């Protein structure tokens, strides 16, 4: 497949390019486009055959549901059976933005999108380019992250090309995604609502509206065996090619333990993902990268996937990663790190 690249400036959007993308969606083609979270691999969410192509391009298991992206709240009317009052409150406060809501699906939504579930995941992105595309086509666009299944998600055009060139019809070059981790996913079909995947919109943010909102245990325990209602729940995700281990506890002890383990590695190429506060404390590391400052966890979230992919670029064999507190966006970062490590985490340092 010949993949066409369309470059769009978010501050000076070319309507003709938007029309071309809309036409591609209407013809059942695959288009990669930027969102504020990560790049998405999109197809017309009402076209079963087009949605099936997403799974093929990504190598994605068919029992892993897709998220529908919309431009207007009014589009929910044909996609869901009902919108609970608590969902309306979250929509009013956080849409457009990095929040996905799981609702009871209507008959209009294909089982291909929902992986046979009676629920559907929907969000309204805030990224300027994504919004222009969605407004112009007024179709619900099914779009998981634009990466080979299991690999770290893509936050830049360059990384999309690495994974999906020749596998999709169009790749939109819209610069770097701002948030850097996928949207928060909340199941609104249970009471109290439950967070199935943490993201930039945190539990603390939503407690203002829903004080009793809960977090699914599968966020920490990836071996819960539950049928996934949300992308990223069941399979190993966000994973670099190398083995990865995460260390959580007193920061001085974490640094000491990682340095000890680095010194013991005689034959493997080792990378350390540190932070600005500790990067100078590591010695004799083959690849030393900083995720950003612990005082700015949004920066850390934005850098995480790119740093994991940099480890792949440098063909490392083993990655040691500093952990973060399971609070606020730190919980979202740790969810991605745990998935990347396949659960290999050292607590209590």
> What digits encode the pLDDT tens for the residues 227-251?
555 555 555 578 899 999 999 999 9
Tell me the angle at which helices 128-137 and 15-26 cross, rounded to the nearest 10 degrees.
60
Average pLDDT score, the chain: 94
Model confidence at 219, pLDDT cuts 50, 70, 90, reads confident
Tell me if 118 is assigned to a ligand binding site. Answer: no
Asked if 30 and 89 sit in the same domain, the reply is yes
Asked if 190 and 281 sit in the same domain, the reply is no
Residue 244: the pLDDT is 96
Asked if 163 and 303 sit in the same domain, the reply is no
Model confidence at 94, pLDDT cuts 50, 70, 90, reads very high
> What digits encode the pLDDT tens for the residues 179-198?
999 999 999 999 999 999 99
Tell me if 123 is assigned to a ligand binding site. Answer: yes
pTM, two decimals, is: 0.93
Are 184 and 100 a contacting pair, CB within 8 Å? Answer: yes
Residue 2: the pLDDT is 94
Are 249 and 347 a contacting pair, CB within 8 Å? Answer: yes
User: Domain holding 23: CATH number?
Assistant: 3.90.870.10
**Domain boundaries, position 169:** 4-219
Place of tokens 């064999």: 317
Tell me if 183 is assigned to a ligand binding site. Answer: yes
Contacts of 30-33 with CB under 8 Å at 24 or more apart are: 30/54, 30/57, 30/167, 30/168, 30/169, 30/170, 31/168, 31/169, 31/170, 31/171, 31/172, 32/146, 32/160, 32/164, 32/168, 32/170, 32/171, 32/172, 33/129, 33/130, 33/133, 33/143, 33/172, 33/174
Are 168 and 157 a contacting pair, CB within 8 Å? Answer: no
Tell me if 121 is assigned to a ligand binding site. Answer: no
Tell me if 176 is assigned to a ligand binding site. Answer: no
In a domain, 47, yes or no: yes
Alpha-carbon distances, residue 279 vs 257, 270, 313 (angstroms)? 14, 15, 20
In a domain, 236, yes or no: no
Domain tally for the chain? 2
In a domain, 235, yes or no: no
243-247 and 184-187 beta bridge pairing: unpaired
Tell me if 143 is assigned to a ligand binding site. Answer: yes
Are 67 and 122 a contacting pair, CB within 8 Å? Answer: yes
Whether residue 221 has pLDDT greater than 70: no
Asked if 163 and 273 sit in the same domain, the reply is no
Tell me if 230 is assigned to a ligand binding site. Answer: no
Asked if 180 and 302 sit in the same domain, the reply is no
> What digits encode the pLDDT tens for the residues 298-307?
999 999 999 9
Residue 218: the pLDDT is 73
Tell me if 126 is assigned to a ligand binding site. Answer: no
Tell me if 64 is assigned to a ligand binding site. Answer: yes
Asked if 9 and 63 sit in the same domain, the reply is yes
In a domain, 68, yes or no: yes
User: Domain holding 267: CATH number?
Assistant: 3.40.50.11030
Tell me if 114 is assigned to a ligand binding site. Answer: no
């Amino acid at each position: 497949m010949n993949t066409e690249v369309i470059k769009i400036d978010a501050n000076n959007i070319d309507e003709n390019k938007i029309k071309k993308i809309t036409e591609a969606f209407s013809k059942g083609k695959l288009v990669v486009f930027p969102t504020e979270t990560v790049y998405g691999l999109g197809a017309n969410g009402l076209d079963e055959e087009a949605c099936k192509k997403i799974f093929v391009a990504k190598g994605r298991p068919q029992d892993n549901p897709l998220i529908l992206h919309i431009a207007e709240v009014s589009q929910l009317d044909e996609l869901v059976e009902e919108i609970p009052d608590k969902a309306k409150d979250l929509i009013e406060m956080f849409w457009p933005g990095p929040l996905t809501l799981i609702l009871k699906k209507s008959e209009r939504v294909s089982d291909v999108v929902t992986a046979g579930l009676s629920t559907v995941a929907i969000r309204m992105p805030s990224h300027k380019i994504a919004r222009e595309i969605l407004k112009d086509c007024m179709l619900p666009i099914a779009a998981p992250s634009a990466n080979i299944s299991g690999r770290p998600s893509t936050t830049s055009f360059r990384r999309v090309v690495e994974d999906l060139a020749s596998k999709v019809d169009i790749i939109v070059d819209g610069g770097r995604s701002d948030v850097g981790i996928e949207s928060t996913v909340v199941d609104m079909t249970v009471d109290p609502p439950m967070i199935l995947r943490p993201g930039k919109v945190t539990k603390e943010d939503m407690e203002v509206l829903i004080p009793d909102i809960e977090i699914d245990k599968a966020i920490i325990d990836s071996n819960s065996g539950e049928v996934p209602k949300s992308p990223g729940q069941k399979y190993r995700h966000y994973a670099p090619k190398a083995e990865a281990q995460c260390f959580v506890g007193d920061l001085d002890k974490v640094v000491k333990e990682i340095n000890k383990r680095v010194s013991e590695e005689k034959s493997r190429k080792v990378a350390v993902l540190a932070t600005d506060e500790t990067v100078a404390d590591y010695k004799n590391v083959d690849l030393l990268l900083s995720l950003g400052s612990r005082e700015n966890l949004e920066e850390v979230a934005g850098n995480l996937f790119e740093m994991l992919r940099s480890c792949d670029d440098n063909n490392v064999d083993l990655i040691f990663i500093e952990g973060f507190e399971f609070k606020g966006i730190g919980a979202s970062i740790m969810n991605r790190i745990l998935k990347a490590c396949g659960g290999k985490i050292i607590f209590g340092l």
